[in-house]
Amino acid sequence: MQLPPNAFKRALAEGRPQAGYWLSLGNAYSAEVAAGAGYDWLLIDGEHSPIDTESMLAMLQTIAAYPASAVLRPAANDRMLIKRALDIGAQTLLVPYVETAEEAAHAVESMRYPPRGKRGVGGATVRATRFGRIGNYAQACEAELCLLVQVETRRGLDNLDAIAAVDGVDGIFIGPADLATDLGFPGQPSHPQVLQAIEDAIDRTRANGKACGILTLDPALARRFEQRGCLFTAIGVDVVTLARGAERQLESFRSQGAAAAQAASY
């Protein structure tokens, strides 16, 4: 059995922009709904959602049947969490809250087997090796693993060049909500000073030869960031799609009812 190729990592290496969608509902059924929508990548969010390891596994298995690439975000830059994510078959990880080159290097070490890193060996017991059916997994997996680190603070921006220079970091994801808050503009990711910081980060990431990504629900900003050089841009979140869609549907129903009642009164 052959190691599955990482289409997402190849797209970044070739400079092809990838449109993504955030999965926070936390179950395989909703993940499959999104997987068939045509997005290039889907983010399984283990940081700001109730998704546990078993749910992550089920979502990875579901998404694997579709062309979309799965990106998994563990709750923290923690060696055990990263090991478990890799063992259940995740090939691309987005590690949150990275502020220094040392923290980025820690994430890289957690992705790699000794002697190049400190990842524990699950061998034939884990899905990543297809339960021992990929005989050369330990030797070949590094080429198909992709590490994205999330920069979302002023300190992270200050150290962005050093973070990007760490061998093994494939891309940098700018976290606009946390960044806006840390810069003094909570709830204002579109504030001019925040946008300036984001665009500077995109430019610096590209100058260091690494792929840059972001999440924004504003289509105009998404296009603006992509034109600036973002290669992986998430443009939606399943929870938000459900919440706003449900609200709009109810508002439309009530508005139509009110209009009909008004017309009938004449």
Number of C-alpha atoms within 13 angstroms, CB side, residue 246?
6
Q: Which residue has the tokens 């590094």?
A: 142
Whether 191 is catalytic: no
Contact 129, 184 (CB under 8 A): no
Query: How many angstroms separate the CA atoms of 128 and 45, rounded?
Result: 19
Distance set, CA 57 to CA 65, 126, 240 (Å): 13, 11, 23
Contact 36, 7 (CB under 8 A): no
Annotated catalytic residue: which of 48, 127, 206, 223? 48
Query: How many angstroms separate the CA atoms of 56 and 73, rounded?
Result: 10
Catalytic residue set: 48
